Amino acid sequence: MVKRIIPCLDVHNGRIVKGVNFVNLVDAGDPFSCAEAYSNAGADELVFLDITATSDNRNTVTDMITEISKIIKIPLTVGGGIRTVEDFERIIKSGASKVGVNSAAVKNPSLISDAATSFGTQYIVCAIDARRRKDGSGWDVYTNAGKVNTGFDVIEWAVQVEQLGAGEILLTSMDMDGTKKGYDLDLTRQVAEAVSIPVIASGGAGTMEHFYDAITIGKADAVLAASLFHFGEVEIFELKTYLKNCGIEVKI
């Protein structure tokens, strides 16, 4: 199966930002120029996350989505502030190929099944923000940009969202986010083995080897990164060439 390389645009106040463990955000550029550059550089997809839409209790910035969808040639997943089936419709009409949902789905799981019924499972990406429990017994699901611990078990929730109709899981390790120490391979592998839908690994990429490990050890179907790409530490073509030379099937 072809593995996908996905840059992520975390957007706050109209700018791309990046932090460590979901805090200490720094400016990382203009969303429009970055989106176009990634599309031209060979990214397989692009994820756009309006990271404060939920905590600010507002809708996702659809005008920005419309403009970005016009200048890129690859699928666009949009998340942040998605609360209703109408929000899904609004984002899809703005040009998104898929819609990511996290906090609202935890509060109202039927939102996933309702949206899947209305638009098809291929449009539904369930984002799961995971943090390892202090006792090491597993991971809890966090919502509201990592501010609220729901107490839900990540593996159990992943299984449930697949049953509800999610077509894909975007799995972020809050422990590894922005650290550049590598993905949480144990977390990624356990979720990937528990479900049959694709799992996108997110949080912690620091070297090209980390992407390889996420795919081979973590069993991820796709690998997502932000700061590593934003600050030019790894180029997408370079990464794809490396993975291909390692025997990973990628689209070049």
pLDDT class for 217, splitting at 50, 70, 90? Answer: very high
Alpha helices for 142-207 (secondary structure H): 154-164, 185-194
Which CATH number do you get for residue 239?
3.20.20.70
The backbone torsions φ and ψ at residue 42, rounded to the nearest 5 degrees and listed phi first, read 105, 15
184 is catalytic: no
Residue 49 has a pLDDT of 86
d(C-alpha 249, C-alpha 252), whole Å = 9
pLDDT class for 52, splitting at 50, 70, 90? Answer: low
129 is catalytic: yes
- The mean of the pLDDT values for the chain is 91
Higher per-residue pLDDT: 39 or 62: 39
Tell me the residue ranges of DSSP E strands in the chain.
Answer: 4-12, 15-20, 23-29, 46-50, 76-79, 98-101, 124-132, 139-143, 148-153, 168-173, 199-202, 222-225
Region of poorest pLDDT, from 34-38, 138-142, 218-222: 34-38
Q: Which of 10, 50, 87, 221 is catalytic?
A: 10
250 located within any domain: no
252 located within any domain: no
Residue 26 has pLDDT above 60, yes or no: no
**How large is the average pLDDT for residues 21-44?**
76
Among candidate residues 69, 64, 98, the one with its CA nearest the CA of residue 82: 98
Residue 12 has pLDDT above 80, yes or no: no
Residue 29 has pLDDT above 80, yes or no: no
251 located within any domain: no
Q: Which of 129, 177, 184, 221 is catalytic?
A: 129
The parent domain of residue 206 ranges over: 4-245
Please write the tens of the pLDDT for every residue from 65-121: 999 999 999 999 999 889 999 999 999 999 999 999 999 999 999 999 999 999 999
Please write the tens of the pLDDT for every residue from 137-178: 999 999 987 899 999 999 999 999 999 999 999 999 999 998
49 located within any domain: yes
149 located within any domain: yes
Residue 19 structure tokens: 């932090």
Residue 19 has a pLDDT of 53
Tally of structural domains, the chain: 1
Please write the tens of the pLDDT for every residue from 168-200: 999 999 999 989 999 999 999 999 999 999 999
103 located within any domain: yes
The backbone torsions φ and ψ at residue 85, rounded to the nearest 5 degrees and listed phi first, read -60, -35
Residue 61 has a pLDDT of 74
The pLDDT > 70 percentage for the chain reads 91
Q: Report pTM.
A: 0.92
101 located within any domain: yes
151 located within any domain: yes
